[in-house]
Amino acid sequence: MANRISRITAYVEKRKLGFGVARLIMMSGVNVRSIGPNDPDPPDALRRLEQALPQLLSAQELSELQQLLSEA
Amino acid sequence: MTVSIGVGVGDAVDVEKAVQAAVEQARAQLGGATAQAAYITATVDYEASRVHTAFREALAGVPLHGVTTSLGVLTAAGVRNEGHGAVAVMLVGGAPGTAFVAASTEADGRRAGEAAARELVREAGGRMPRMILFNASPGAEESMLEGIASVCPDVPCQGGSAADHAIAGQWSVFTHEGPVPTGVSLLGLFGEVRVGTALCTPYTPTGTMARATAAEGRTLLTLDGQPAAQVLGRWMEGAIDDQVRSGGNILAQTALRPIAVRRGVSQRDHYVTVHPAHVHADRGSVDVFARIEPRDEVCLMTGTAEGLVNEVAHLIDLALAQGNLTTRDVKGAALIFCAGCAGALGPRVDEGLRTFSRLLPGVPLLGLCTFGEQGYIPGLGNVHQDLSLSLTLFANGRP
């Protein structure tokens, strides 16, 4: 099972393409591309990523993402 | 004298394939003209050294110049970055002597600017450039422009500063010799080539202002004698309270409410927009992306996403007017779009970019997202500022 950051990144990439992932990196300051799916989630990076998501995703997309994360 | 412009974009996972695709598209648009210089860019998703090597191999003998772009490559159809990044090239074609490149990695900004400009003029056999495409690492652009002006007075410089996605110093300047983390690269246009240039922002002053009372380079220490972070915190009405207390990045919060330094230009004012980047809670200071001097009048500005989208049409109009060009004259365009603005706009940046398709249909466009923008303001000279759009339109000399 991939870590939470990788699953968030995969969701953003699917919905918003590479441009969306680049915006996520810019807004959070977390280079998500450097975090492998099997790495442990760095807590501070995960917190910053989750804080940035509302600027990128609609309420519906956020809800869908939360659902996907909770199912895993 | 005629100038030909060809632009290509590639986004294959494999960097060599991405560069090859971009070069093939650009060459096809040159109409048989010989490439005299190449303006290259790539997102940091690709390794800069591999990007440079691939362009050198694909464009054997063509001088290279450029910087990395944040977020993606800008085209008239929208942002290109499907998933693995993007590379792009603008080929400047024409007779020998139309374009030259030069670079410097001198640590001192002014000396770097001087050295690169001297080399550019030497390459051109002592001629002054018609204009300069300027690209540099973030940090010393004002000094670099001063250095260039000491060698090439009154020559317009248009450009943008190297960028990555994370604001983590992963950017590169592409000199002909290779990518460097710190330095300046110039692409000079010479002869009878006509250009139209513009630098603008969609922000208006709010009337809230203070005097800079202490600053160190690009760190604002105090405004009206009080810690800059506290003053900015009051101006932002709660939006950066956490950062004022604990420190942190404020780029997103200030993208539509930046600050600016007012400069008087004959009968009107020019506002040099400055993007507040980071609050240091312990010192109460604020890092910014452009120089603020003690005694400068610092103003709070305001803008909207709608204004940013609509600013592209204004930018094109300004550049056409500045160059006394009609839309039919334009052979190519180089757009610099502040990465902070593009990040704040998100998908809406495509609306602005499609303005090029509407107003300049079929014109090859190369666009970058940068961490600082440069352009020529009549009466002020070449300026470096933030949260701006910079445009160069290329056209043939008059028959």
Confidence at residue B107, expressed as pLDDT on a 0 to 100 scale: 97
Q: Report B:342-371 residues touching A (Cβ under 8 A).
A: 343, 346-347
A26/B82 touch (CB, cutoff 8 Å), yes or no: no
- Count residue pairs from A and B with Cβ separation < 8 A: 54
Confidence at residue B2, expressed as pLDDT on a 0 to 100 scale: 84
Neighbour-count burial for B241-254, b at 16+ CB within 10 Å, e otherwise: eebbeebbbbbbbb
A22/B82 touch (CB, cutoff 8 Å), yes or no: no
Query: Among candidates B214, B211, B248, B219, which has minimal Cα distance to B233?
Result: B248
Query: Among candidates B84, B65, B78, B279, which has minimal Cα distance to B189?
Result: B65
The SS3 call for residue B394 is strand
**Residues of B whose CB is below 8 A from A17:** 81-83
Query: Among candidates A14, A33, A9, A70, which has minimal Cα distance to B164?
Result: A33
**Residues of A whose CB is below 8 A from B168:** 29, 31
Residues 6+ apart with CB under 8 A from B18: B10, B11, B12, B46, B54, B86, B87
Asked if B248 has any chain A CB less than 8 Å from its own CB, the reply is no
**Residues of B whose CB is below 8 A from A16:** 347
Please state the φ and ψ torsions of residue B300, each to the nearest 5 degrees: -85, 130
Domain ranges of chain A: 4-71
pLDDT at A1 over 80: no
**Residues of A whose CB is below 8 A from B79:** 19
Confidence at residue B1, expressed as pLDDT on a 0 to 100 scale: 61
Choose the closest CB to A29 out of B43, B249, B339: B249
Confidence at residue B372, expressed as pLDDT on a 0 to 100 scale: 97
Mean pLDDT split into 10-residue runs, chain B, 399 residues = 92 98 97 95 98 98 98 97 95 96 98 98 97 98 98 97 94 98 98 94 96 96 98 96 91 93 87 95 96 96 96 98 96 97 94 97 98 94 97 87
DSSP conformational letter for B164? -
Please state the φ and ψ torsions of residue B45, each to the nearest 5 degrees: -65, -25
Confidence at residue B100, expressed as pLDDT on a 0 to 100 scale: 98
